[in-house]
Amino acid sequence: MKLIHYISRRYLIYSILILLIAIPVFYFSLQYLMLKSLDENMNHQKTWIKKQLKTTIPNNFISFENSIIVRPSNNSQVFDSLYSQPVFIPDDNETVMHRILLSNTIVNGKPYEIRIQKSMIEDEDLLNSILVLQLVLVILLLTGLMIINFQLSKKLWKPFNDIVDKLNLYRVDRNKDEQFIPTNIEEFKNLGNSIKELIKRNRKLYKVQKEFTENASHELQTPIAIMQSKVELLMQTSPITQEQADLIEDISTAGNRMQRLNRTLLLLTKIENDQFPDTEKIQIKNVIQKLLNQYEEPAEQKNIQWKTELDNDIEITANPILIDILIGNILSNAIRHSENGHLISIKISQHRLIISNPADKKLDEKELFQRFKKQTENTHSIGLGLEMSKKICELYQYQIQYHFVHNQHLFSIIFN
């Protein structure tokens, strides 16, 4: 959820709650004040009638539609009663709510009943009109405030959105100073300056790390190549004992492993630094067929058979070198963990590539994709293949999964 929507929604909820509380309170308060004013007016009329009764008879009080009735009473008790009651009006042929004051009083020693009634329809109409007017004004005010708040917030947050957009496109290997939209907001200005300083430090650290990695790799390649060359020359000398030959072979194996390790670590560093920006459309089916041809010789050495289900295909956009490494590492891992005569299955299903091979026990999932964590005692493995595959999947936001089902190692790559 965007911040502007998050804030605006809370303003809206708060305003609606206040509106739901305020309008009924206003309505009943106004109704109470109107009834109070009406009751006071009728009480004034009652007082005036009592004064007039001292000098005149009840028949002299004539009112329209019997709104005032004064007549002798059989009740000698003095009391006043105020209530609301619907009254039928013959001339209008309708029933209208009235406010009624019923008073029993004694004037000149004689009891009288005074009944004063006043229609509440005018007050109700006035009350409803005021309520509707208030509701319209509140809605207009609320709508206007929300529009102003949204537009103002959108304008105020524009520098922040610009910073986020440029950070999404930021590449540490691109030597370009980011320029953000100028703003008078102190917080956004400080944020922009802090990010500029962070970018400069990251670029400097990246440059140092890149130079160190390249120099280290280059400097290591030369002595490793010299060592391998000297070992080969040493193997050609004579006489040579069996013990010496075994030692020389161990040195050669270690040199080859060191050379592979150097190349792999350099490749991992390049992947982590996103140094493979070139991408193109790739058909996974074509990649698999090419890799099967490359791994034909090691597969024949272990008499391994391939079972392929490549009727479907997946098209992705990525760096072809990295995709070859990603799928190739899993295929070589399947060959390494398979016994002689095993069957390796390769299947493409929707957006998923599944590679499985028979196995006796489950691999340790906690250490499966960790660096230098080998699941086998095979000396040819350097423990970086699956970790590299994991890094490639993270780079392109793919998912790599491992399951052990029916004595089968099952690796899945989900291409989003």
Pairing of strands 280-283, 79-89: unpaired
Q: Mean pLDDT in each 10-residue stretch from start to end of the chain (416 residues)?
A: 66 78 81 82 84 75 70 83 79 75 84 82 72 81 78 78 83 74 82 86 80 71 77 78 81 75 70 73 90 87 88 86 86 85 88 88 72 49 68 86 87 87
What contacts 325, CB < 8 A, 6 or more positions away?
267, 388, 389, 392
Q: What is the per-residue pLDDT for 62?
A: 61
What contacts 363, CB < 8 A, 6 or more positions away?
375, 402, 404, 409
Q: What is the CATH number of domain 187-272?
A: 1.10.287
What residue spans define the domains of the chain? 3-152, 187-272, 280-414
Q: What is the per-residue pLDDT for 345?
A: 92
Does the domain formed by 280-414 have CATH 3.30.565.10?
Answer: yes
Q: What is the per-residue pLDDT for 156?
A: 77
Report d(CA 61, CA 42) in Å as an integer.
15
Report d(CA 288, CA 415) in Å as an integer.
15
What contacts 141, CB < 8 A, 6 or more positions away?
none
